[in-house]
Structure 1
Amino acid sequence: MSQARDHGGDHRPMRPFRNRVAGPGASTRRRTAAQLAAGTPVLPVLIVSVIVLVDLVGGAGTIWLPLLAAGPALAATTSGPREVLGVGLLAVLLGAMLGIQDGVTGRELAAVLSAPVAVTLASGLASALGGRRERVLAAVRSVAEAAQHALLKPVPATVGPFQVAVRYSAAAAEARIGGDLYALVPTPYGVRLIVGDVRGKGLPAVGTAALVLGVFREAAYDEPDLLAVVGRIERSLSRNLGSDDFVTAVVAGYSQSGHLEVVNCGHAPPLLVRESGSVVAVEPTHPTPPLGLRALSGEAPSLQVLPFADGDQLLLYTDGVTEARNHGREFYPLAEGLARHVSDEPGRTLTALHDELLAYVGGRLHDDAALLLLRKPALPEPASDAGRDSGSRSVPSRSAVEGAPGAGSRAADVVQAADVVKKENSLDDRGDGGCRSGAFVAGARP
């Protein structure tokens, strides 16, 4: 039926559809048109169109023509030099057409259109220089990001037996790096970490932070004693820092004995979160001056040992968090915020805490801020010993075997094997070993 309809008298052969824009040249034109449409400065063109429309409706001569310079001037703020020149050319051409239509003399029209021409040239030059500055800024930003990744290496979600999360915010958002520092490394002596704050800002603070982190990462692997790690950082800073420069820091380590070791060098006390949810500030028993100032005070740092059970968490931070203020000049209550948002996932806890901190200060911090949360997950429950005796072999009773149908001589053999099995079970219970009962049963006569 379908074939009959296709071959009917009224049937006209259907020519294949020809894609008139197909081919390499058509795809290039399509690409070019898409790029032009994407880069078209819509608002400047709209402003020029409105001015032309007003002039056409009002017929005011040269009154509105100087305003055509607003189009290229606005295009310079959002587009490149090519777009600026395009908008300027459009404005000049439309202005010339309007002037000729209104009967403006050539000299007067040239004087009026000189303003859009001059603004177009100046805007194009400004756009070219602005694009160059943007490229330089992008290159500097990429270098800053590379420096940040080299200094503040990304911390994995799991380090050794711990769950870890880090949040860092630099006060200079374009630089994305500041004087706060943190590091967490697994070593042969356990997991060790540092959170610190360099006095000052800018490139000198970044250089000092790089020095501290480099010495810490090296010493953490070499020194079995945590105080020796702090000593090496102190000696390096004393050789490289000025007399009024210093670094506040907390150096911590989880030893193989299962205890948390903390050395606080003039830094804000860490917050210890117990599994019950209570938040306790780990105040140093013997306050120690910041790193780089030991020669002035003569006081050696002290080691503080704390129990760190399953489910406990430790939050280390910098003063950019605790010194953040709201519009009422009140400091952010970090301990209360941590108690509100603490959970079994450090990443989720720090995300909620950081968002609350930004909302508290109005959206932007005025100092570098670092947060590092360490959690020791609870170990799974050990397997129950209820089925420990399930492997003991059950032995049929003598009466059951003798009363079985078709017993005879075979029953005597089975009973004898059962007695041997009972004897072996009693030997296994006493721990004396013995042969497997399966060997005796296999030797029974069928």
Structure 2
Amino acid sequence: MRPGDVDDEGAYARAGGRLPIDPVPDPGLGATAEALPPEAEPRRRTRYGRVLVRALPVLLIVVAVLYDIFTPRYFTAGPLYTAAPLVAAAVYSRRGTALTSAAVVAAVVGLQLSKDVIHYVDSLTELITITTVAALAVLVNAFVRRAGERLVSVREIAEAAQRAVLPEPAERIGGFEIAACYEAAQADAFIGGDLYAVQDSPRGIRLIVGDVRGKGMGAVAAVAVVIGAFREAAEQEATLEAVAQRLERALAREGTRRDGLDAFEGFTTAVLAELPHGDGVVRVLNRGHPPPLLLYADGTLRLLPARESALPLGMGELGVWPDRAEEAPFPGGATLLLYTDGLSEARDGRGEFYDPHERLAGCVFRHPEDLLGTLAEDVRRHSGGGMADDMALLAVRRP
């Protein structure tokens, strides 16, 4: 703790590790009095919807049987009988679909026999139609299941490939505690256009957090280029400025291989940081990226903005600005937080941006993973559970 600062850690621990903006439960009512987050209601509705869909085939059969029992012979529930196995094919297993189809055929046959109408032409036509649809439903279910299995396999391969591009850093490197978090805005994606990397070097721990222009697989390819160039440069170059220039040249080479708009407008915003071994300082070089935050052990925060603006990486042809790494104290117990604009530009229902500086003020976290977990949950709550942009978080704590 620095002289003159107040120790808020005890109060924060007693508060259960909540952010200042989180609802506080009534002491007389217990934790159940805490308000549900905004995304809880949509999740509950989704769960009820899934239960209803799975019960729909049974409900269709029951309604069809009751309709046939309480209406004259000339009224038929044939459409309901045919719908039941088709719905089951989409939501049930192969066995469940077969049992549903058998139940439908058995119900139709039983009702026609009980009414002594099975020998009529219209009744036989209805029975043949329902039996045919029931058999087709079993075949459709088998096709859907095989397609689902192939999709799962493809997703597992894609996850492995994407994790190879953006691996999780070790929890401890060079004496520093490290945690990373990534949330892709694109559904079913594991990484997108944001990136982070940590590299130990003879000159200290070097970090990068960046945001590649664009989305999809093109952005993932650019992420691979940036991370590969960073790891090599961080190991070999003597300064952060030299590392940034290596990244600039790597992106320029990548631009020559691209066609269309990306060949002219491909760029990457990035912030690079260096934590020298044994020195209580951090050096930061910013190329058009949101500024890092420094969280001290007593809960105070410091923003580390660049004194001079610089273009993002990959835009060197527009002008040359000399890179200058800026130095700041990094005492024991402090945590350095690097993030992408998916955090700072997350909006709530009123269109207000998420402000990590304001939301984290006065908070104390003992471990980097606690900070990232709380921060990710809070920004999801702020944005209503959906992310409009990818978000990458990297936290490093000096013990």
TM-score by length of 1: 0.71
Corresponding residue number in structure 1 for 2:300: 278
1:265-344 aligned within 5 A = 265-344=287-366
2:139 and 2:321 map into 1 onto residues whose CA distance is: 62
Matching residue's letter, 2:379:
L
- Equivalent in the alignment of 2:18: none
Give the conservation status (yes or no) of the 8 Å contact 1:266–1:290.
Answer: yes
1:154 maps onto 2:168 in alignment? yes
- Letter of the aligned partner of 1:52 in structure 2? V
Q: 1:147: Cα distance to partner? A: 1.9
1:276–1:91 distance in 2 versus 1, CA, 3 Å:
closer
Q: Which has the larger radius of gyration?
A: 1
Q: 8 Å contact 1:272–1:312 — kept in the other structure?
A: yes
User: Shift of the alpha carbon at 1:362?
Assistant: 0.4
User: Which AA in structure 2 matches 1:277?
Assistant: G
Q: Kindly indicate whether residue 102 of structure 2 is the aligned counterpart of residue 78 of structure 1.
A: no
Q: Tell me the SS of whatever aligns to 1:243.
A: helix
Partner of 1:383: none
Q: 1:134 to 1:62 in 2, by over 3 A?
A: farther
- State the 1:151 CA deviation: 1.5
* Structure 1 gaps, min length 5: 1-40, 378-446
- 1:192 aligned to 186, 201, 206, which one? 206
The aligned residue for residue 225 of structure 2 is 211
Instruction: Output the amino acid matched with 1:70.
Output: A
Query: Are positions 1:60 and 2:82 aligned together?
Result: no
Change (3 A) 1:157 1:256: closer
* Deviation of the 1:45 alpha carbon: 4.2
Q: Percent identity?
A: 38
For 1:145, the equivalent position in structure 2 comes to 159
CA distance in 1, matches of 2:287, 2:93: 53
Distance in 2 between residues matched to 1:42 and 1:329, nearest whole Å = 39
Q: Deviations over 1:54-80 (max 9, x none)?
A: 534x26335344122232022122124
Distance across 2 between alignment mates of 1:291 and 1:42: 54
Question: 1:42, CA displacement in angstroms?
Answer: 6.6
* 1:119 matched to 2:141: no
Among 240, 245, 265, the alignment partner of 2:254 is 240
SS at match of 1:373: strand
Structure 1 segment 32-71 matched on structure 2, within 5 A = 44-45=57-58, 47-56=60-69, 58=70, 60-61=72-73, 63-66=75-78, 67-71=80-84
Runs (5+) with no aligned partner, structure 2:
1-53, 256-262
Alpha-carbon contact 1:272-1:315 (below 8 Å) kept: yes
Amino acid at match of 1:101: S
Change beyond 3 A, Cα 1:43–1:98? same
Q: What is the CA distance between 1:244 and its match in structure 2?
A: 0.8
Q: Could you tell me which residue of structure 1 aligns to residue 258 of structure 2?
A: none
CA distance in 2, matches of 1:357, 1:199: 22
The CA distance in 2 between the partners of 1:141 and 1:322, in whole Å, is 30
Q: Which runs of structure 1 show a deviation greater than 6 angstroms over 4 or more consecutive aligned residues?
A: none
Quote the residue 1:429 is aligned against. Answer: none
Distance 2:66 2:212 in 1: 61
Query: Which secondary structure state, in structure 1, belongs to the residue aligned with residue 361 of structure 2?
Result: helix
Instruction: Say if 1:269 and 1:281, in contact at 8 Å, map to a contact too.
Output: yes
Deviation at 1:46, TM superposition (A): 5.5
TM-score, normalised on structure 2? 0.79
1:2-25 CA-to-partner distances (Å, cap 9, x unmatched) read xxxxxxxxxxxxxxxxxxxxxxxx
Does 2:109 correspond to 1:96?
yes
Partner SS for 1:194 = strand
Residues 1:373 and 2:395 aligned together = yes
RMSD value over aligned CA atoms? 2.0
Work out which of the residue numbers 277, 284, 296 in structure 2 matches 1:256. Answer: 277
